[in-house]
Structure 1
Amino acid sequence: MRILAVRATACGEFAELIDSMHRLRTRVFRDRLNWDVKVRNGLEADEYDQLDPTYILAVSSAGQVAGCARLLPAMGPTMLANAFPQLLSSRRLEAHASMVESSRFCVDTSLAQNHTGGFLHRTTLMMFAGIIEWSIASGFHEIVTATDLRFERILKRAGWPMQRLGAPCPIGNTIAVAGTLPANTESFDRLRPVGYRSATNMRGHVAA
């Protein structure tokens, strides 16, 4: 397993990985979680995928996308500010140049059926470490996100607790909550699992 940071405009083999990521998002967000998301030709995507985000991908040794997240600078359009302001106590996101938004985080649970019991936990930790590593390399020190209460508990158990920005609120068929997470070397060292492999090289770029 390795972590890749890939721009949405990437081509070649990375474009194939991005398509695999959108298919994974369809399986997770539409099929499993029953979210109201837009799917076209089997690919889940929305308007924020058109803003040239960076995707953090966990890629297995077989070349399968096992996990993904989408990162966008918080100073620009974000899901939290534009789509879910009700999750913010002030109804507006206090964004700054060192803040990045993480969205569409998921891990492929179907792959875990062919691995040991710790696969999901390890993939999740690798994704957390990859998000932090890329954020630091790109000059971001704070991550903002909207998630559900279950995932908030996962973050806390992992040792990366979220600082809430408002009270939990029902959105669709889940109870959502917004918060911030630190992007620093202390968090990276604490969350990075043994054998962590990254292609970001701490410069925010994919290693071809």
Structure 2
Amino acid sequence: MRLVAVRSGENRVGNRLIDQMHTLRARVFSERLEWNVTVKSGRETDEYDALDPTYLLAVTDDLRDVIGCARLLPGTGPTMLGRTFPILLDGNPMPSHPGLIESSRFCVDTELGMRNAARGLHKATMTLFAGILEWSLTNGYSEVATVTDLRFEKILRRAGLPFNRLGAQHPIGNTIAIAGIIPATLENAVRVRPEDCEPFFVDHAPLAA
């Protein structure tokens, strides 16, 4: 397994992986979780995919399959939390500063993900946790904001990541949603990085065209 950070239109391989990521998102968010998301031609997309995000992808070593993904957008621009789910801020303004990145659309293919027996979590999940934090540190971000649900908050806490809630939980669709911030620190990255993985080197153009 390896991590790549890609943006739409950078190269052919990256575009193929991004397309596969949208298919994975449809399977997870629409079919498995039954969220109210937009799926066309078997691919889930939303308005935030049009904002030139960075996609962090966990992929197989041969770059054939996407195992998991997360979407990263600067906190200073339009964000899912600020624009779509402000109710989760309990009337407070959306945190916005140059050191904030928003992570959204986090998901893992549970069939391809390998188990981390020590923690009972998928290795791909732990790899993505560490990758998001390391990418954030490498690119000058100190905090990661995210909208998630109570189930995933428990996963974060099991992984040992501090999750500082920004407001109370609220029912949204068929889930109970919350928003919070995770400090992007080297200590947190090391804490969740799988033991058999070296520090991840993630840049914006890691793939051959």
- Give the TM-score category using the shorter length: over 0.9
Corresponding residue of 1:79: 80
Q: Alignment length, in residue pairs?
A: 203
Which stretches of structure 1, 4 residues or more, deviate above 3 A after TM superposition? 115-120
Superposed CA offset, 1:160-207 (max 9, x none): 02100000000000000000001111111111112326341xxx4232
* Aligned match of 1:41: 41
Q: Which residue does 2:14 correspond to in 1?
A: 14
Q: After TM superposition, give the deviation of residue 85 of structure 1 in Å.
A: 0.3
Query: 1:4 corresponds to which residue?
Result: 4
Distance 2:4 2:121 in 1: 18
Q: What secondary structure sits across from 2:107 in the alignment? A: strand
Equivalent residue runs for 1:24-35 within 5 Å: 24-35=24-35
Moved more, 10-19 or 99-108: 10-19
| TM-score (structure 1 length as normaliser) | 0.92
2:109 paired residue number: 108
In 1, Cα distance between equivalents of 2:95 and 2:201: 31
Identity %: 53
Alpha carbons of structure 1 residues 120 and 12: separation in structure 2 relative to 1, 3 Å: farther
Inter-partner Cα distance in structure 2 for 1:190 and 1:83: 31
Return the alpha-carbon distance in structure 2 between the equivalents of residues 99 and 72 of structure 1: 9
Deviation by residue 1:41-95 (Cα, 9 ceiling, x = unmatched): 1111111000000001000235210100000001100000000000002342121
Given that 2:115 and 2:122 are in contact with CA atoms closer than 8 Å, whether structure 1 keeps it comes out as no
CA RMSD of aligned residues (A): 1.6
**8 A Cα contact 1:5 1:199, kept in partner:** no
Could you tell me which residue of structure 2 aligns to residue 163 of structure 1?
Answer: 164
Q: Partner amino acid for 1:181? A: I
Gaps of 5+ in 2: none
Q: Does 1:182 align with 2:187?
A: no
Q: If the length of structure 2 is used for normalisation, what is the TM-score?
A: 0.92
Deviates further, 55-64 or 190-199:
190-199
